[in-house]
Amino acid sequence: MDAALESPAPPATVLAIDGISKQFGGRPALEEVTLDVKAGEVHCLLGENGAGKSTLCNIVFGVHRPDAGHLRLGGQRFLPVGPAHALASGVAMVHQHFSLVGNMTALENMLLGRARGRSLALADMAKRVRHLSEEYGLEVNLERPVEDLSVGERQRVEVLRCLLDGPQLLVLDEPTAVLPPREVGALLEICRRLAARGCGLVLVTHKLAEIAEIAHRTTVLRRGRVVETVTMAGAGTDLRALVRAMVGREVKPLEIARATPQIAAVEARASADQKEDEALRLDGLVVKDGAGATRLDLSLTVRRGEIVGVAGVEGNGQSQLGAVLAGLLAPSAGKVLVGGADVTGKPPRELSRLGVGIVPEDRHAVGCHLPLSVAENLLLGDLSAYTRFGLLRRDRMAATAMARMEANDIRAAGPDAPMSSLSGGNQQKVVLARELALDPLVFLLAAQPTRGLDVGAVEAVYTEIRKACDRGAGVLLVSSELDELLAVADRVLVIYRGRIVGELPAHPQHKDAVGTLMSGQVAAVAA
Amino acid sequence: MNETLQAFVSSSLRLATPLVLAATGEMVSEQAGVLNLSLEGMMLSAAFMGAFGAKVTGSPMGGLAFGLGAALLLALVQAWLSVRVRANQLVVGIGFNIFALGATTFLYRQIFGGLSREQIPSFSALEVPLLHRIPFLGPAVFSQAGLVYVAAALVAVTWWLVAKTPFGLAVRAVGENPRAADQAGLAVERIRFLAVLYAGGCAGLAGVFLSVASISTFTEGMTNGAGYLAVTAVILGGWHSVGVLGACLLFGAATSLQFVLPALGVPIPTAGLVMLPYVLALVAVSGVIRRSRPPAALTLPFRRGGH
Amino acid sequence: MSDIADVALGAAGLTRARRLPVERLLPLGALVGSLAVGLVLVRATGVPLRDALAAFWEGVGGSEFAMVGSLNRGVPLALVGLGYILAERANLTNVGGEGQICMGGIFSAAASLSWGAGKLPGPLAFLFPLLAGTAAGALWGALAGLLKARRGSNEVITTLLLTFIALQMVYGSVQSVHLLRQPMTDSATLPESLEIPSVTQLPVLTKDSGLPLHVGLVIELLVAGVVAVGLARSAIGLELRAVGLNETASRRAGLPVERLVIGALAASGALGGLAGAVMVQGDQHYLTAGFSSGFGFDGLVVGLLARGSAVGVVAFALLFGCLRSGGMSMEMSASVPSAIVVVCQGVMVVAMATAAAYSRRRPA
């Protein structure tokens, strides 16, 4: 008789991706990607913007068909013809932009695609949901329309919906981008629990801290190709190596500061002397929404040459603040003063003329026109200099655009290249260049300026912002990237439920205190 | 006076019925995101084929079958073009209306010959037992062609379908956020297809009512904008069953007033009365009533993986 | 023939660079197919094909008179179509051409009959009613623009509703002698207006030959030129395009979004109003209920098919004008129901829309 040593059976492979390639209109998005996910494993997908992470997820979920290669789910060939097929096969996905119908309740959203037959069986579904809700500690309000819930709640609904059918593979696409720090921990805990039950998880993220915390293995994607798959050794893994794999070059300390607090190295800043004048003052600014609830109620001051950071989880009034400063929203009360002059309620054109520059949160929706050319985007706000008898002088526009592109290191095919053909980083550079070209530039609002940007672009953005500062503008930097804020700003205000709940000097040692303030706990903060 | 009022109520119901039938179906289609401007064409085709069928088979039920078939056929093509091919819904709708007007006029002249007002076998009035004896309103309300009662039943069935069944939930999801619906595993195209067919079937009933039940003959272009009026009723009704029903009854009454008021000697210009439904809908849609928000994906075709 | 193909394809939005064989054939096939349907129907009536086609050709351009008729008929169609593509640039869909024609006709007739345009010197006699009609159409379009800009109301719905209201206003205005109805000599007097004074009628270009080709054609071509250049090369054209692409970003960039939206719909409506004035002053010379006779809807279709190209609008307008003339002639001379032409048009519209959708499916 064989004295076979008892060893635990190796975990089964839930998902095997083999040589998957995908092109969109001639441009390769994925090239021969091969990786696998085992049962009980949390496999992170790391990569820059445009590396192909979302495309890969969409292929696994059946939204796109691969051009080449194949998938195996639980050992069987798997080619989902659509999300319904994927769901039926035990694959669930938490989408980055949520797949919920806004004007339906959470309960109704749960029923979508699941209810069969003649009646909706609301009570049964409610029971199932409550079960799961208790089991995983995910509290959700089932009765209100989903669009009335907070972002975090909406994601809980999305996650719960995925868990309803007990998937064997769960794909999460950048799930923590919009969560407050405390809830990030809760989400990661759920991932751990699911893994413990044998589910395979694919977690797409660009946050190294999370990867360090939870990943068993990490695959780095760059420009559609797998660079390497790394087995994580817990907190001791050298994250710098991962970043290098992501970007392909050594990164400067600023970036590591953003990635992991431990390796923080705050760049010394030349102390600015021109702090006398006030670039921006908000006096008792109040914004109420349609239902009469107060969304914003604060006062603050930004001096010229100063960078003031505003830390807070998305949805605590930052959007309203940005809209008021951009001239798109009129406050219910209070005043906005720029360079000492009252500009409350003035339209965007006026504000630009008075020296207010805005880099909006959502550059695609608010910041630029994707189908228009770079030159058109740069100059749209003030075409009068380029118009003769009502007709445009394209040659002049192109010349000015080329000059600006050169000055700001904007990489594009030419001034007439459509904005959509530029990478995210270059698009943001265009938006910045447009705002920084304002003369005078008294105040600049940069809202989430590095969201979705790769490491190189992040550096470029902050360099430009610092330049604006050195020229005498006051900068308000609104960001949910704590590490960036602490590295770049002079001081940090924390916004919670529309109010400023604390102010701290910007230093990495205050990170925990800021995080605490961000989640609404005002007590026990060392000033 | 009594008689005039009875005539008014009776004719209001009769005029409202094709609207109720068509608008109820169109509401479902629009809730799924497809705007059928071709409602007019579907109704007209059904009216003609209904008359033709009644003449050929000698029975109004035969007309009903023919008319329904014609409308469903048009709806099938409309669905395929709007949902599968993703052609511009407005263009296709208007194109169908032009086509239907030409085709029915042409066929009418060829088959019925010129300006005949040939009477066709039609649905006679059905008296609801007992109820029609209610004093005053009884004969007016409960002695109508069978299709009127069908219309009432249709409203109830549709309400239940949309609010209480998985299909209705799917329809509403698909019209509001088709991408999310797709990601939840719903077959967006198939649902929209079915919704358009439903609208076509209802439009078919409406058209058949016009020719086979209401005036028992076919005249060229007899729908005369009723299809557009039905679309208007859906707007005024805020895309809800009860609202749409109310709007249709209101329109029916307004149209009826056009005949009743002159008979009473009241000098209201008929143009004003005909305008009234549209003015009301315009007011509704200018946001005075906040409820009137169309389904977010209305007229927008859906393509998986696209934007 | 290849020029027409070029125009048709250019009109269908296919640029030179991307014309694969299938794409070239699709819209052409749609056109040919719909005409074939017409021929089949003609056969079905029993009338010999030769006679029917001869009559059709007669009506289109067999005689100079017929040709002029086709050209004249194309003018309001082109104007409405141009208005459509103008609004389309800002991503606004104006389906209210028919109603704007109605308003234009009413005010043009009012100016000619009641406001003393006939007493104005020289060209002002016909320019003033044209202006009045244009202004009325602009107002009608601006109304929808206002509702869109201030209330966010969907302009497809509002322009459609305004059309039905305007149709009734025409009816109402010729019902009452206090408005535009001709004096009632007896109870059989038709509800229509008097004939407009000859000085207010559009001058005829070819006076010597006795052909009624009026100045509307010149107006059409001028407007087409302005629209084409304006959309492609003017600052306002770029601003409209920006607003159409992204309203919030445009606002942020400092563009006067509300003014642009209202302006676009007003301009679009103005062209519709102009079309109505041209119809009353150029062809009909009096106002009657239903005078718009579907020209607004046909013009809308012309605009839809042209896919943003002013040249395409002019081409399709001419095509539809010819179809109408040919159809009428067929009915009169060969007893072929003109409804066949209507069927053709319907099939053409649906077929072209399908062809356009298929060519859109090609990967970029």
For C223-267, the pLDDT digits (tens) are: 999 999 999 899 999 999 999 998 888 988 888 999 999 999 999
Q: Does C152 touch chain B (CB under 8 A)?
A: yes
Mean pLDDT over each residue of chain A, to the nearest integer: 82
C127 is in which domain, residue-wise?
A: 33-181+189-361
pLDDT digits (tens, 9 = 90+) for A249-308: 444 445 444 433 322 223 333 333 444 578 899 999 999 876 677 888 999 999 888 899
User: Quick check: B176 pLDDT over 80?
Assistant: yes
Nearest Cα residue in chain A from C234: A391
For residue B194, give its domain range: 2-114+143-288
Which residues does chain C have within 8 Å of residue A26's beta carbon, measured at their own beta carbons?
A: 363
CB contact under 8 Å between B275 and C168, yes or no, is yes
B160 domain-assigned: yes
Q: If you average pLDDT over residues C77-106, what whole number do you get?
A: 94
DSSP string, A403-439: HHHHHTT---S-TTSBGGGS-HHHHHHHHHHHHHT-S
A383 inside 8 A of chain C by CB: yes
Q: What is the mean pLDDT of residues B62-88?
A: 92
ipTM of the complex: 0.84
In degrees and rounded to multiples of 5, residue A324 shows phi and psi of -65, -45
User: Is the Cβ pair A111, B179 closer than 8 Å?
Assistant: no
Give the single-character DSSP code of A261. Answer: G
Please state the rounded mean pLDDT for residues A60-78: 90
Report pLDDT for A519.
63
Nearest residue of B to residue A61, measured between CA atoms: B183
Residue B119, domain member (yes or no): no
C305 touches chain B (CB under 8 A): yes
Q: Per the domain annotation, does C127 fall within a domain? A: yes
| pLDDT attached to residue A234 | 62
In a domain, C28, yes or no: no
Q: Cβ of B166 and A111 within 8 Å? A: yes
Residue of B176, B164, B174, B209 whose CA lies nearest to B194: B174
Model confidence pLDDT, tens digit, residues A493-518? 998 888 898 898 888 788 778 877 77
Residues with Cβ within 8 Å of C200's Cβ and at least 6 positions away in sequence, in order, are C111, C112, C117, C118, C125, C126, C128, C129, C281
Rounded to two decimals, what is the model's pTM? 0.80
Number of domains within chain C? 1
Find, among C76, C138, C133, the residue nearest to C283 by Cα. Answer: C76
Residue B300 lies in a domain: no
Q: What is the pLDDT of residues A318-341, one digit of tens each?
A: 888 998 998 888 899 999 999 888
The answer to whether residue C15 is domain-embedded is: no
Give per-residue pLDDT as tens, C156-166: 888 988 999 99
C233 CB within 8 Å of a chain A CB:
yes
pLDDT tens-digit readout, C32-75: 888 899 888 888 888 888 888 888 888 887 777 778 888 888 99
The answer as to whether B284 is a domain residue is yes
B31 to chain C nearest CA, in Å?
Answer: 16
Mean pLDDT of A446-467: 81
The whole-number pLDDT of residue B153 equals: 92
Residue C18 lies in a domain: no
Determine, yes or no, domain membership for B137.
no
* B304 in a structural domain: no
C311-352: per-residue pLDDT in tens?
999 999 998 888 888 888 888 888 888 888 889 888 988 998
Please tell me which of the candidates B95, B225, B274 has its beta carbon nearest to residue C346.
B95
A116 touches B: beta carbon within 8 Å = yes
CB contact under 8 A, A101 and B166: no
On whether residue C77 sits in a domain, the answer given is yes
Looking at the structure of chain B, the number of domains it has is 1
The verdict on a CB contact (< 8 Å) between C297 and B94 is yes
| Cβ-Cβ contacts under 8 Å, B184 against chain A | 83, 87, 99, 109, 112-113, 161
Inside any domain, residue C54: yes
Out of C230, C234, C246, closest to residue A369 by CB: C246
Contacts of C347 in chain B (CB under 8 A): 95, 99
Whether C252 is covered by a domain: the verdict is yes
A103, B176: Cβ pair inside 8 Å?
Answer: yes
How far apart (Å, rounded) are the C-alpha atoms in residues B52 and C327?
A: 26
Residue predicted with more confidence, B155 or A515: B155
Pairs of CB atoms within 8 A across B/C: 144
Q: Cβ contact (<8 Å) for C305 and B103?
A: no
Residue B281: its chain C contacts at CB < 8 A? 157, 161
CA distance B172 to B157: 16
What integer pLDDT is reported at residue C221 of this predicted model? 94
Q: How far apart are CA C222 and CA C228, in angstroms?
A: 10
CA of A151, closest CA in chain B: separation in Å?
16
Q: What would the 3-class secondary structure string for A75-131 be?
A: CEEECCCCHHHHHHCCEEEECCCCCCCCCCEHHHHHHCCCCCCCCCCHHHHHHHHHH
In C, which residues are within 8 Å of A348 by CB distance? 251-254
Residue B259 lies inside a defined structural domain of this protein: yes
- B40 within some domain: yes
The overall average pLDDT reported for chain C is: 85
Q: Which of B172, B180, B185 sits opposite A84 (nearest CB)?
A: B185
C-beta atoms of B98 and C342 within 8 A: yes
Please report, rounded to a whole number, the percentage of residues in chain A having pLDDT higher than 70.
84
* Two structure tokens written together for A408: 């700001």
In a domain, C17, yes or no: no
Q: Is A158 on the interface with B (CB under 8 A)?
A: no
What CATH number does residue B241 fall under? 1.10.3470
Please name the residues between 310 and 349 in chain A that touch chain C, using a CB distance below 8 Å: 326-328, 347-349
> Would you call B81 and C176 a contact, using CB atoms and an 8 Å cutoff?
no
Nearest to B285 among C158, C349, C356 (CB): C158
**Residues with Cβ within 8 Å of residue A400, at least 6 apart in sequence:** A375, A378, A379, A386
C342/B contact by beta carbon, under 8 A: yes
